[in-house]
Amino acid sequence: MTALQYVLSVVLIIIALAIIVLVMLQESKQKGLSGTIGGAADTFFGKNKGRTNEAKLAMLTKVCGTIFFILSFVSALLILFGA
């Protein structure tokens, strides 16, 4: 393995861990019974604050996923063509 492949491997591991953490930080879409009972989160500010934070997490997850895909593809090409 070349130095570039080692660097790509380390970056891939870091991105993979970041994706795991980002997915774990996101709220579940299922509210269930507890979401219907606790009406405090149903205020205007509670909804908007949750949406902006959730939107940021979702966007960051998409960006990390895209970077992960591209780096995986480049790494596979490097291994395939022996660079």
Between CA 8 and CA 48 the distance in angstroms is 38
Which residue type occupies 15?
I
Let me know: does 15 contact 73? Beta carbons within 8 Å.
no
Kindly report, residue by residue over 27-75, the tens digit of the pLDDT.
887 766 565 565 555 555 555 655 688 889 999 999 999 999 999 999 9
Q: Say if pTM beats, i.e. exceeds, 0.85.
A: no
Q: In the structure encoding, which two tokens stand for residue 62, read together?
A: 């998409």
Lookup result for tokens 């953490």: 21
Let me know: does 8 contact 71? Beta carbons within 8 Å.
yes
